[in-house]
Amino acid sequence: MQPMRILVLCWLGWALPAAAELPADSLYQLRTELLTQEGTRQPLGMYRGHPTLISMFYGSCAASCPMLITSLQVYERQLPAAARTRMRVLLISFDPEHDTAPRLGVLAHEHRTDALRWTLAVAATDEARKIAALLGVQYRPLPEGGYDHSLLITLLDPDGRRLASTTKLVGDAQFETRLAAAADSAPR
């Protein structure tokens, strides 16, 4: 009887974390694939387990997109160093034609993003449309090249649930508060 009970307890202890299913309101429910700056294929939930800032952009954008990267760095810099190390940042391009893995690598290098915690990635055209629909990002290709798009930064909890979002590149106090709380409460 005793060994059986131990066996059951072991099985429960082992199975529970593995079977931890995504909540129904997790954005990671979308089955899709990203190509990262390192040339690897990753699911949307590649940073599951960490509070994550997620946004969409295109790399050849002259003005707003570098601003977006800087903006994310500024929001992060306001966090205490220990809390910052728990955060992850995922920037997804909707321009697979131009934003190849090497190109994203160059962009990451130019902006000195922290490769341990940041990923620049790109999605295939149809998949990017789905990710944008999930996040609430609007974008449209322009006839002369480039895109019109909305700037939206979304904060996700470790399971991919939306905690907050902002359209302000700097100084959204409410968003900063939510970000600080999310980074602080994350498991160490």
Q: Which candidate, 105, 94, 87, 103, places its Cα nearest to that of 38?
A: 105
DSSP 143: T
Q: In what order do the strands lie in the sheet with 52-57?
A: 41-43, 33-36, 118-122, 88-93, 52-57, 153-156, 162-166
Tokens coding 152: 């939206």
CB of 76 or CB of 95, closer to another protein: 95
| Cβ atoms of residues 113 and 13 within 8 Å | no
Residue 62 C-beta: closest distance to another protein, Å: 9
CB of 111 or CB of 129, closer to another protein: 129
Q: Cα(33)–Cα(122) distance, rounded to whole angstroms?
A: 9
CB of 75 or CB of 117, closer to another protein: 75
Residue 41 C-beta: closest distance to another protein, Å: 19
CB of 65 or CB of 182, closer to another protein: 65
Residue 3 C-beta: closest distance to another protein, Å: 38
Tokens coding 97: 């034609």
CB of 29 or CB of 100, closer to another protein: 29
- Return residues touching another protein (CB under 8 A): 22, 24-27, 29-30, 61, 63-65, 126, 129-130, 132-134, 136-144, 146-152, 167-168
Residue 86 C-beta: closest distance to another protein, Å: 24
